[in-house]
């Protein structure tokens, strides 16, 4: 076998780490969330949360206090699980989601 110096070994470990990170990030989001604190599923939930907040804020139907409570709710684990189950959210779906939690705000 060819001799690899310290530099070659470090580069190999870094490349292996990058490959493992992306495999977990893309194909095992639960494990990525547990080990790295981020996953592709978390990114989608963030996007959905932003869409919901934008629609709720632009509708003018909610007070600032209700919007703050909605934002807190969207950051909770229960809301994240719900948004993961829903998947990609449309504007109609966002309005429906906000209306379902409106009573608790």
- Listed by start position, the domains of the chain span 1-38, 39-105
> pLDDT tens digits, residue range 1-16?
557 788 989 999 999 9
User: Which residues make Cβ contacts (< 8 Å) with residue 44, sequence separation at least 6?
Assistant: 83, 84, 87, 88
User: Which residues make Cβ contacts (< 8 Å) with residue 38, sequence separation at least 6?
Assistant: 25, 32
Mean predicted confidence (pLDDT) in 30-38:
77
Look-up of token digits 């939690």:
101
Q: Does the structure show a pLDDT above 90 at 36?
A: no
Quick one: which H or E segment has residue 65?
helix 64-75
Question: Taking a C-beta distance cutoff of 8 angstroms, is the pair 91, 55 a contact?
Answer: yes
Q: Does the structure show a pLDDT above 80 at 37?
A: no
d(CA 39, CA 74): 17
Tell which wins on pLDDT, 34 or 89: 34
pLDDT at residue 53, rounded to an integer: 81
Does the predicted TM-score (pTM) go above 0.95?
no
């Amino acid at each position: 076998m060819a001799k690899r110096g310290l530099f070659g070994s470090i580069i190999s470990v870094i490349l292996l780490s990058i490959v493992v990170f992306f495999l977990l990030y893309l194909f095992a989001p639960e494990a990525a969330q547990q080990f790295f604190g981020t996953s592709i599923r978390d990114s989608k939930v963030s996007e959905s949360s932003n869409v919901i907040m934008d629609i709720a804020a632009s509708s003018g139907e909610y007070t600032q206090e209700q919007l703050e409570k909605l934002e807190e709710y969207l950051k909770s684990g229960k809301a994240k699980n719900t948004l993961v189950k829903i998947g990609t959210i449309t504007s109609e779906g966002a309005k429906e989601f906000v209306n379902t939690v409106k009573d608790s705000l």
